[in-house]
Structure 1
Amino acid sequence: MKYDEFVDAVAIRAGMSPAEAEVLTHATLQTLADRLTAGEARDLASQLPRGLQEFLQPRYEKAEPFGLEEFVRRVGNRAGVDMSMAWHGMRAVLATLRGGVSVGEFQDVIGQLPKEYLQALQPTR
C-alpha cells in the first residue's frame, strides 16, 4: 500500500477529507509508537509506506502504559481536533493498519494493547 492509498483509505473509513485523514494518521501513529515497545513500533513501521514510517519512531524503549481514553486524548491533542474526530480518525487508522500490514504483525501490535482497545477495532465504514 502506498502513502496516498493509506491516507485515502483512512479518509473514506472516517468520512473526512484526505487532509484531515493525513493529520489524524500521523497523530495516531505517533501515539501508537508511545504505546508500543520500541521494537514493536519499529517492526510495524517496517511494513508501512515511506512517509508514514517516520511517525512510528519510538521515543522510549518501553511502552507507556496508558488506556484507550488517554490514547484518544493524545491523538486529539496532536492533531488539534476534538475527541469525537480523534476517535473516528484513530479507529479508521487502526482499521487501515489491519489491512495494510501482515496478520502476524497486526496481532503483535494488538497483543501489546489492553483489551479495552478492542472496541476501537470494531468495524468502521
Structure 2
Amino acid sequence: MKYDEFIKHVQSVAQIDSREQAQQSIQATLEIIKERIVGDEAKDLAAQLPEEIAQYLRGREGENGQHFKLEEFIERVSEKAGVESTDAIMHIRAVFTVLQNAVSPGEFASFKHNFSDDFAELFPAVSA
C-alpha cells in the first residue's frame, strides 16, 4: 500500500475532515504503538509499510514494550494527535483497520499479539 493510499483510507474510515489531521493521527498512533510493543515487532511491522509511515515505528529495536492499559494508550494518542479521546478511539481503530489491509496476515497477527484482550475494541472485528 502506498503512502497516499494509507492516508486516504485512514481519513475515510475515521471520517476525518482533513488530510493533515489524518496524518497527525497516524503518526500519533504509530508512535504510541512503538512505545507499547516489543521494538523488534515494531521494526517488522515497519518493514511492510511505506517509508513515510514506517519511520514512526523505528528507533526501539531490541527494547521491550511498555505495559500500559487501553485507557492510557487512548489518552497518549489523544494528547499526541491533539484530539479528544472519543475521536482518538475512532482514529486508532481506523489506523488498525488500514494496517490490517497494508501488511501480511501473519504480520498483523504478530502485531495484535502484543496487545492484551482489553485492546480488542480497537481492532477490526473481522479479517479483511
Q: TM bucket by the smaller chain? A: over 0.9
Deviations 1:4-30 (A, max 9, x none): 100100000000122211100000000
Query: Which 5+ residue runs of structure 2 have no aligned equivalent?
Result: none
Query: Which 5+ residue runs of structure 1 have no aligned equivalent?
Result: none
- Output the CA distance in 1 between the equivalents of 2:70 and 2:101: 21
Q: Report the TM-score, using the length of structure 1 for normalisation.
A: 0.94
Deviations 1:41-87 (A, max 9, x none): 00000000010111002447011001111111000111111101111
Q: Report the TM-score, using the length of structure 2 for normalisation.
A: 0.91
Quick one: percent identity of the two aligned structures?
37
Q: 1:113 aligns with which of 108, 112, 115?
A: 115
Partner of residue 55, structure 1: 56
Partner of residue 20, structure 2: 19
- Output the CA distance in 1 between the equivalents of 2:124 and 2:52: 27
Tell me, yes or no, if the aligned pair for 2:37 and 2:64 is still in contact at 8 Å: yes
Tell me, yes or no, if the aligned pair for 1:34 and 1:58 is still in contact at 8 Å: no
- Output the CA distance in 1 between the equivalents of 2:72 and 2:93: 14
Partner of residue 65, structure 1: 67
Question: Considering only aligned residues, what root-mean-square deviation do their CA atoms show, in Å?
Answer: 1.2
Q: List structure 1 runs of 4+ shifted beyond 3 angstroms.
A: none
Letter in 2 for 1:103: P
Tell me, yes or no, if the aligned pair for 2:40 and 2:60 is still in contact at 8 Å: no
Q: Does 1:42 align with 2:33?
A: no
